[in-house]
Structure 1
Amino acid sequence: MGVIDVLAAVGERFPAVRKPERKPTLYRRLAWTGVILVLYFIMSNIPLYGIPPQNIGGQVDLQRIIFASSAGTLMELGIGPIVTASLIIQVLVGAKIIKLDLADPEGRRKFTSAQKVLALAFAALEAVAFTVGGRYWVGTAIEPGPLDYALVSLQLFLGALLVIYFDEVMQKGWGIGSAISLFILAGVAQGVVWSMFGTIPGVALDYGLVPAIISNPDLTLLARPNGFPDLTGFFATLAAIILLVYLQAMRVEIPITSERFKGIRSRVPLQFIYVTNIPILLVGILVSDLLLIQGLLADYLGVESRAYQIYSSIVYYLSPPRGVVQSIADPVKTAVFIASWTVLSIIFGYMWVEIAGLNPREQAERLIKGGLAIPGMRSDPRVLERVLRRYIYPLTFLSSLIVAAMVIVADIFGAYGTGTGLLLAVGIINQYYAMITRERALETYPLLRRILGEEVV
């Protein structure tokens, strides 16, 4: 019995959300999605009991966006545990280290159960690490005891547990999409709104752009210090959204013909952004995890320790700058950020194409199995692979480079919600639009639903 089997066996002992006997209507699924979204916002604003008052508001950073977290609340861990667990298992499966067929229902069941157990393990580990390190009592006269540690750790763990079950409710068909995507989108939207209208009592009443315009409407709003939202970031946000929508709609078409129905020709559309947002998402997760470890090292080793200072210096140069002022003030950091994120995005792009089965060999095999071929070419996987290689690998390089460049430029100019957040948000909105359009079509034309074998409650 392998590791994945052990984790799956343990996961099956946990309570699980049952799939609906018949598929709920679109409006019922939208209602469930709305309820879960409201619960997320409520949890993001409920402070942890037993800790000194925390300033929940503040600047929108990469870690907060990627993990949909909110400091000092029940959503402190956010989706971090489940995202990290899912990523680890997917990489191991894609690299054939763990043999698991995700196309098989039994394989998917094992994957889901193992992911739940691993996510719970990460949640417990992070919850204990956050509290024992004394993070919530730094700078106060309070000396926490074992009971305080246990109480706060339990709250953090329960918050992460609820997120895992929220995602399970969505994935089992009660809602639309996944809770992970929903919470990331909500976090980005919240960050954009905060950058526009936010105020920090006692620190910066003019933090957001609109309060700043009202209190001091002058040219300093073009580029504000301290990473505060400015007009440059506002226009960068608009430009990034428009460009992302345009690029994600672009396709590269490959002509094909059917071996079964001679003379019928069509085209296979490949997304111009072939790797979608996966490479930059992986870079964001990597840097976010490094930032998380940095916080834990500060708790346990202290900010004066040599190890912490070396580590924090590395993370500092890998982290995105906040706006034009910071980018110009530290050109070395900006240069290292640009180079590291570009290289990592390209590496992760190629890695994901191989792991996710998007490489030329597997795409050629799918075409052959579907009875399709390229006009003028023999129906041989090796021949098709050579043709597809001319399309797929250049697209992988170019799309990885483009998404990295867009995120880097957006961060340098201080786009609201961070460049990574905007990239993820636009992709998630496109996915939701496609899913809702499909569901509307199935409800409008019941015959399509019968053909697909779906029934409505």
Structure 2
Amino acid sequence: GSVDTVKSAQFHPFVRVIFASTAGTLLELGIGPIVTAGLIIQLLAGSDLIGFDNTNPEDRALFTTVSKIFSFLMIAFQSAAYIVTGQYGRLTLSTAVIIFGQLFIAGFVLMMLDEMVQKGWGIGSGISLFIVAGITKTIWMSSFNLYPSADGRRIGAIWAFFEGIMRGDPVLDWFYRPGYPDMIGLLTTIAVFAFVVYVEGMRVELPISHSSFRGFRGKMPIKLLYVSNIPVILTYTLFGFVQMVSQLVWSRWNADNGNTLLNMFGTFNATTGRPTGGLVYYTTSPGSLGGVVNEPIRALVYLLIVVAICVLFSLTWLEIGGLGAENMADQLLSSGMQVPGFRRSRRPLVALLNRYIPTITVIGGFIIGMLAALSEFLNVFGSGMGALLCVSIMYQYYQTMVQEQVDELYPFLRGAFSR
């Protein structure tokens, strides 16, 4: 039978951006299973639920093996979940098995490509490359797509802008097109990228020196976006999970939206598959400015939820991700570094770092939460998370290359600034 991809195309689009997923294709899952598996393993290791010593080669090898096995399991689970939740409509058993096999094999190929990059056939990680490539493609197609749209103009915002001028359309129509990429979205995208680049450079710098090399002095930067893009990924992964479970419950036991208790989790339009109420309704963006104007309460609640959860995940990841003041103090001391004016012991160094790290983490979580939500309202190409991820990943590539140069020049500092 034919596969209905209408609902699939509308299913948590913001998650598709950060997971390099494309609806209705072999890349339906994108890198979602790999990222999810990695985050879960890191959470377990960071919270000491599983023993892991990063300095032990055997532990590192075991950690890598467990991550791969867990990635396989997540690929199988998410492939099955997309079929069970009705993302492709009602399928025969044979069709379901074929689609499951296609999704699983595609996920396996992506995992192998990521492995090749990490083994030295590229720079950084394959996951980062997939994310940047997906975001770049979205921005390019939103700007330059030549395919005609229903309003008689091209889908690409730049072509549509000039076509609107030549046709003599009202000035507002040159810049704003509901349901399609427009110049407001393009200009906002440029502004968001510029803002993210600026924020990425904001930091507090603590002076440091080496206890054994008196001539060496430097600065330890504590970035405003200290925990990077992890809170955004966790937040929208949570939203995607809420949507998947809600749609599964709705399709199986509440398709008529008649169960009051289940309606609290989510109700959906039977034709379009869009959420119409419940928890899932408020964890889904109302869309563009038009949606915000039509549903201001939903937009406000969505904004508050995104910001609150981003801040919460920022503080959580601070501890379980090994980025807290205690961990950073241990890293500095173990590498022979110290802060001038402070005794070279753990307690005063932890107290000093605690003046900055928790506050910066909360502010950073608030900023990325606001950026992510507001960018969805303003129709930013690739979304605000996409801009944040793209800039932060490219910045990490830059830092990686600089770090390699520092390690070559100063081998005794290797590991001091690895985080």
Aligned equivalent of 1:222? 175
- 8 Å contact kept, 2:292–2:377: yes
Deviation digits for residues 55-107 of structure 1 (CA, Å, limit 9, x no counterpart): 79889920210221111211111111111111111111111111112332222
Deviation digits for residues 274-311 of structure 1 (CA, Å, limit 9, x no counterpart): 12222122112222233333454455446434436742
Counterpart of 1:208, as a letter, is G
The separation in 1 between residues aligned to 2:88 and 2:30, in whole angstroms, is 17
Aligned mate of 1:325, from 271, 283, 290: 290
- 8 Å contact kept, 1:342–1:405: yes
Q: Does 1:177 align with 2:177?
A: no
The separation in 2 between residues aligned to 1:75 and 1:328, in whole angstroms, is 34
Q: What is the TM-score when the length of structure 1 is the normalising length? A: 0.77
Shift in Å, 1:240: 0.8
- 8 Å contact kept, 2:158–2:183: no
Q: Does 1:412 align with 2:377?
A: yes
Deviation digits for residues 350-404 of structure 1 (CA, Å, limit 9, x no counterpart): 1111112211112122222222322222222111111111111111112212222
Residue 294 to residue 76, structure 1, CA distance change in 2 (3 Å): farther
Aligned mate of 2:66, from 83, 94, 114: 114
Percent of aligned positions with the same letter in both sequences? 33
Q: Does 1:127 align with 2:79?
A: yes
Q: Does 1:156 align with 2:136?
A: no
Shift in Å, 1:237: 0.6
Counterpart of 1:152, as a letter, is I
Q: Does 1:234 align with 2:186?
A: yes
Aligned mate of 1:374, from 339, 344, 348: 339
Question: Structure 1 regions of 5+ residues with no counterpart?
Answer: 1-49, 139-143
Aligned equivalent of 1:193? 140
Residue 134 to residue 350, structure 1, CA distance change in 2 (3 Å): closer
Residue 60 to residue 206, structure 1, CA distance change in 2 (3 Å): farther
Deviation digits for residues 191-234 of structure 1 (CA, Å, limit 9, x no counterpart): 112221336668566433134324434312433323x2222221
Residue 387 to residue 277, structure 1, CA distance change in 2 (3 Å): same
The separation in 2 between residues aligned to 1:395 and 1:260, in whole angstroms, is 31
Aligned equivalent of 2:269? none
Q: Which moved more, 1:336-345 or 1:425-434?
A: 425-434
Shift in Å, 1:254: 0.8
Aligned mate of 1:430, from 395, 409, 414: 395
Aligned equivalent of 1:383? 348
Aligned mate of 1:285, from 225, 232, 237: 237
Aligned equivalent of 1:30? none
- 8 Å contact kept, 2:83–2:100: yes
The separation in 2 between residues aligned to 1:372 and 1:322, in whole angstroms, is 49
Aligned equivalent of 2:157? 209
Counterpart of 1:235, as a letter, is L
Residue 133 to residue 383, structure 1, CA distance change in 2 (3 Å): closer
Residue 433 to residue 51, structure 1, CA distance change in 2 (3 Å): farther
The separation in 2 between residues aligned to 1:320 and 1:373, in whole angstroms, is 46
Residue 158 to residue 452, structure 1, CA distance change in 2 (3 Å): farther
Q: Does 1:253 align with 2:201?
A: no
Q: Does 1:95 align with 2:47?
A: yes
The separation in 1 between residues aligned to 2:398 and 2:213, in whole angstroms, is 33
Aligned equivalent of 1:76? 28
Aligned mate of 1:145, from 82, 92, 108: 92
Matches within 5 A, 1:287-306: 287-297=239-249, 299-301=251-253, 303-305=255-257, 306=259
Question: Structure 2 regions of 5+ residues with no counterpart?
Answer: 166-170, 267-274, 415-419
RMSD, aligned α-carbons: 3.1
Counterpart of 2:240, as a letter, is S
Q: Which moved more, 1:210-219 or 1:393-402?
A: 210-219
The separation in 1 between residues aligned to 2:208 and 2:135, in whole angstroms, is 40
Matches within 5 A, 1:6-17: none
Secondary structure of the 1:100 match is coil
Counterpart of 2:383, as a letter, is T
Q: What is the TM-score when the length of structure 2 is the normalising length? A: 0.84
- 8 Å contact kept, 2:37–2:74: yes
- 8 Å contact kept, 1:63–1:291: no
- 8 Å contact kept, 1:224–1:325: no
The separation in 2 between residues aligned to 1:323 and 1:451, in whole angstroms, is 52
- 8 Å contact kept, 1:248–1:272: yes
Aligned mate of 2:301, from 320, 336, 340: 336
Aligned mate of 1:61, from 2, 8, 13: 13
- 8 Å contact kept, 1:130–1:296: no
Matched length: 394
Secondary structure of the 1:191 match is helix
The separation in 1 between residues aligned to 2:173 and 2:327, in whole angstroms, is 54
Residue 268 to residue 93, structure 1, CA distance change in 2 (3 Å): same
- 8 Å contact kept, 1:135–1:299: no
The separation in 1 between residues aligned to 2:291 and 2:126, in whole angstroms, is 34
Q: Which moved more, 1:347-356 or 1:374-383?
A: 374-383
Secondary structure of the 1:135 match is coil
The separation in 2 between residues aligned to 1:125 and 1:267, in whole angstroms, is 45
Secondary structure of the 1:287 match is helix
Secondary structure of the 2:88 match is helix
